[in-house]
Amino acid sequence: MSSTRLAAVIIADSGIAFGTSGARGLVEQFTDEVCAAFSVAFLSAMQSSFDVKRIAIGMDRRPSSPAMVAACTGAAHAMGIEVDDYGVLPTPALALQAMTDGIPCIMITGSHIPFDRNGIKFYRPDGEITKQDETAILRSTTPMPAEILPVRNDVSDAANETYARHFTSWFIGEPLKGWRIGLYQHSAAGRDLNAHILTELGADVVVLGRSETFVPVDTEAVSEEDQAKGRAWAKQHQLHALLSTDGDGDRPLVGDETGTWQRGDVVGLLCAQALKIEALAVPVSCNTAIEACGAFRQIERTRIGSPYVLASMAALNKQFDSVAGFEANGGFLLGSDLKADNRELAALPTRDALLPALTLMIAAAQRGMRLSQLFSGLPLRYTASDRLKDFPTQQSNALLAKWQSAPEKMQEALGLAAPIKAVNTIDGLRATLENNDIVHLRPSGNAPELRCYCESDSQAQASALVQKSLASLAALA
C-alpha cells in the first residue's frame, strides 16, 4: 500500500464516522488503506501530547477483525512505532493493560452492531479519547507514509493476566464458592477469560451457548430467543446467576436465578451502591430509580455515549473521592481508585462488563441472598428499550425536530395514553407523560437505527410502551 494523500482525506472519502463508541462503518468501508489512515491520524494526534513509541492493539471475534488489525499494525510500523498485539480479548482488558503501560491502544470491534459492520476504538495512554481527539483524527494533516504493509505480530496473553488480577486482588479468596453460574459465551471476546476469572473466585461455571459464528448480542435489546434461553438454562442447571457480555466484553448481561436478564442501568446502580460510590455520571436514558434510591451525593445526567460520561466524571473527580459512571447498556466506568481492607481497585474509566456483574453476585453471595432479592429492594421503576433497524438517521432527526416544537404531534403519532408534560433534549427527544411514563427516542450513533427507551411503573407497561412506539414509528417509515 502506498499513498501521499493526507490521512484525513482518506477517512473522509471512506464515509466512516465516529459514533458513541468509536469509528463505525460497513466492513467493506474498512479497507487496508482506511484502517491505516485512522491509525496514522490517531497516532499523530497522540504524538502531539505524548511520547509514543509503542501501541497496544486487540480485536473481537468478527471475521473481518484480523485484517483490520494487520492494516493498523502495518501503519504503526511505518511510523516507527512498536506494536503489542494482544489478539482477541475484551476491550476493558486491552484498555487496562495499555493504561498500566502508559501507551495508547486500538481495539478493533463492532461490539453489538450488525454482522456486516465493524469498528475501531481508540484509547489515549490515560484512557478513552475525547471528543477533541476525535476532531483531531478527522482533521489530521498528517500525510500517509510512503509504504504500508499489513502485518501481524506475535500475540501476547499478558493483558488477559493483568485483567484477571484486577479482580482477583480486589475480590479476595473464593467469594463465589457454592454458586453455580451459567456463562453464556456465544462469540464474546472474553468468553474463556470470563470462565477463568469466575472459577478463580470459586464459582462452579456452566458453559452455555458457545458459538464459532459471530453473534451480535445487544445488552440493551435482549432478543426473545435469548430471554427464553436464560429461563430454560436457569431451570435446567439450577443456576444462582447467569453472565454474558456483548461482543467485545465491555457491556454485561446479568441474569438472576430465574434466568431473567436484568437491565444494565439497574445493574450499574446496584454496583455503585455496593462500591459506596459518592457521585455518579449517567446518560439521560438511565432509570430514574438512580435518583429515587437516594444513595448518592450527586448525580449528573449526560448525553448518551462514554465520552460524555467520562467528561462529567472528570468534573466530579474534582469534588468527590469516589466517582463512577455507567450506561443503560450496563457498561460500568470506575473513575477513581477504591481502597478497602488493604485492597485496592484501580480506576478503569472505560466501559467494563465484569466489575458490575461480579460485584452484584458477590454481594448477594456474601449476604446469603438470591440475586433477584438485590433488585427487588430498589424503587419500582422499570425500563425497556429496543430499536427500529434501517431507519435513516436524517429521517430520525427531522422527525424529532418536528416533535420537539409540537409534543402533541408526538403523542398523537405514537398513540400515547397520556399527554406529554415535559420534554428533555439532552440527547434525542425524551418525553415525560402526565402519568410519569417516559418515552425517549434517539437516533443511534453507530448505525441507521432509531432507538426507543421507555420507563414505567411496571416491566410489562415499559415493554409494551416500547413496542407500541416502535410499531407506530415503523408505520411512518
Residues noted as catalytic: 111
CA-to-CA distance for 85 and 427, rounded, in angstroms?
Answer: 36
Cβ atoms 354, 92 nearer than 8 A:
yes
Alpha carbon of 44 to those of 39, 52, 75: distances in Å? 8, 9, 11
Query: 415525560: which residue's cell?
Result: 432
Find, among 422, 425, 426, 469, the residue nearest to 450 by Cα. Answer: 469
Instruction: Name beta bridge partners: 339.
Output: 344
DSSP 21-75: TEEEEEGGG--HHHHHHHHHHHHHHHHTTS--SEEEEEE-S-TTHHHHHHHHHHH
Find, among 155, 52, 138, 67, the residue nearest to 108 by Cα. Answer: 67
In one-letter notation, the amino acid at residue 61 is R
How many CB atoms within 10 Å of residue 400? 17
How many CB atoms within 10 Å of residue 404? 15
Find, among 260, 248, 245, 196, the residue nearest to 356 by Cα. Answer: 245
3-state SS, residue 89: coil
What are the percentages of helix, strand and coil residues in the chain, rounded to 5? 40, 25, 35
CA-to-CA distance for 103 and 228, rounded, in angstroms?
Answer: 43
For residue 153, with 0-12 CB atoms within 10 Å meaning exposed, 13-18 middle and 19 or more buried, which class applies? middle
- Cα 221–223–224 angle (5° rounding)? 130
Residue 372: CA count within 13 A, CB half-sphere: 9
DSSP 356-398: HHHHHHHHHHHHT--HHHHHHTS-S-EEEEEEESS--HHHHHH
CA-to-CA distance for 358 and 415, rounded, in angstroms?
Answer: 41
DSSP 408-429: HHHHHHHT-SS-EEEEE-SSSE
